[in-house]
Amino acid sequence: MTILVIGKTGQLANELSTVSANKYPLLGAKEINVFNEDELSQQLLSYSPSILINAAAYTAVDKAESESDKAYALNADAVKNLSTFCKSNDCFLVHVSTDYVFDGSSGMPYPTDAEIAPQSIYGNSKAKGEQFLRDILGENATIIRTSWVYSEYGNNFVKTMLKLMRERSSIKVVDDQIGSPTWARGLAKACIEAATHQYRGTFHWTDEGVLSWYDFAVAIHQLGLEKGLLNRQMEIIPIPSRDYPVPTPRPHYSVLDKTETRSRFSTPMTHWYTQLSKMMDDLVRSDRTE
């Protein structure tokens, strides 16, 4: 079984490398061209893969509104090309998607078969990628939807909060957007399990528990002080979304129903606070705080 990871510099790709002890090659732009079907096929065939894990994505939610071509190219067209390769070469595909494919108006966790209704370019591009995959591979692939992903690598909410908490005496954080954080390391383990067992269908993966961005920021502050990543108290002010305008609408409620995932996966789902604490321990050890 030869597993290749599509993506090289992102949070998930780095965690896949960590979890697998660098067992799986990470293929970035220098190794493959996901935007050209013929070129991609030739490049992938040189590795003779049996499984692909697609950890590459355009995730700049606000920038996607002005860079829609880039968002659709990586989140949709590239998925189409990867799916076509897998169809032609008997290769299994694990693809990671997002809570942004839903409209965020529900008050109950979204099941895997809930109606798709993205409200942004980013969400639309990810939904189109899902559709390309299903059109080409049917259920002979894994789609894992996730939300609020963070890790010690790259840019994410946790590292941004820590930076602002060092620089400012107070910050404002929205308290009416509800969801579940996901440590990319746990997601990486789930992707590897799905790949090695070739689980077919759509699944949801996040850490356990539900909270607001404000609650998440308060926990980051508390743990940051405990672990020495922060050296002073500061004020965190809850505000409604209307007081924090952004180019892209965020889902007000994006909790994902994980019933099917719990019934299939053996990788444990852990509470978000425990996962956040572990990730911040990694930050202390690695000094990747910027």
Q: What is the pLDDT of residue 290?
A: 61
Catalytic amino acids? 122
Judge whether residue 92 has pLDDT over 90: yes
pLDDT in tens, 20-72: 999 999 999 999 999 999 999 999 999 999 999 999 999 999 999 999 999 99
Per-residue pLDDT, averaged over 3-12, amounts to 96
**Per-residue confidence at 289, pLDDT binned at 50, 70, 90?**
low
Judge whether residue 16 has pLDDT over 70: yes
Judge whether residue 139 has pLDDT over 90: no
- Percent pLDDT > 70 in the chain is 99
| Separation CA 207–CA 225 (nearest Å) | 23
pLDDT in tens, 227-250: 999 999 999 999 999 999 888 888
Per-residue pLDDT, averaged over 92-111, amounts to 97
Long-range own/partner contacts, residues 245-250 (CB < 8 A, 24 or more apart): 246/62, 247/62, 247/65, 247/66, 248/61, 248/62, 248/64, 248/65, 248/120, 248/121, 248/122, 249/104, 249/119, 249/120, 250/61, 250/104, 250/174, 250/177
Q: What is the pLDDT of residue 145?
A: 98
Q: What is the pLDDT of residue 287?
A: 72
Q: What is the pLDDT of residue 286?
A: 86
**Per-residue confidence at 143, pLDDT binned at 50, 70, 90?**
very high
CB 272 within 8 A of CB 180: yes
Q: What is the pLDDT of residue 19?
A: 96
For the entire predicted model, the pTM comes to 0.96
**Per-residue confidence at 204, pLDDT binned at 50, 70, 90?**
very high
